[in-house]
Amino acid sequence: CYYRAKDYGRHLLIGYIQMWDVFARRSLLAVSGALATFLIYLLFVNADSAPTNQSAAPGAIESADAKISDFTFTQTKGDVVQWRVQAKQARLFELEKRAVLSTVEVTLYGQAGKDVTVTGDEGALDTATKNFVLANRTDPLMIATGSGYTIYTNHLAWTDATKVIQTDDPVRIVGNGLEITGRGLLGRTESEEFEVLDDVHVDFTAGS
């Protein structure tokens, strides 16, 4: 009887061990499956919530709402055209109310035919305020006035509310026997008055 009880106890212990082994294996499988499901969920959530890297840095490729070749934008007051922007290509961003321009020509119409023409490699137009900026990649911008002067500078900004063009960059004005250099420019195009703001030097040039 003693040996039978001992064998019975041994078999019972082995049975408990096997049962716990099966239980432990099933528990580990269940936990592993739950972890895998949770990881997959996190991957999908992160993929959906990760922001796109649009316009992360200056010069980054942006996704425009529209692209227009031979773009023209005209500002009028009544029946009178005040200025016109023409560009070889424009990329329009409707939400920002902005047009990014390439190969640009701007004509600012003044009184009695005193028009000002500006050409640049690139620019940006705010379609809400009607303000714009122009710049060249290498050579300075060239601003031709109706009175025979040519203005050279690196960057130019137009404020439509005041009808003023200006820059803080170095400026050179050539024409009618004069060469004027300095820093900063303030120009009122309707009267074709231009003021060099700082460090002004005037030289007379023969044969101009």
- Among residues 190, 158, 168, 192, the alpha carbon closest in space to that of 73 is found at 158
Helix (H) or strand (E) segment spanning residue 183: strand 178-188
pLDDT in tens, 79-135: 889 999 999 999 999 999 999 999 999 999 877 667 889 999 999 999 999 999 999
CB atoms within 10 A of CB 183: 15
pLDDT of residue 79: 86
How large a percentage of the chain has pLDDT more than 90? 47
Residue listed under structure tokens 């840095």: 57
The neighbouring-strand residues paired with 179 are 174, 203
pLDDT of residue 26: 56
Q: Residue 193 has which token pair?
A: 């008055």
DSSP line for 27-66: HHHHHHHHHHHHHHHHHHHHHHHSPP-TT-STT-----SE
Residue 21 has pLDDT above 60, yes or no: no
Mean per-residue pLDDT over the chain, rounded: 77
* Beta strand pairing call for 150-153 and 116-126: unpaired
pTM across the whole model: 0.65
Residue listed under structure tokens 């005209």: 74
pLDDT in tens, 49-71: 433 333 333 333 458 889 999 99
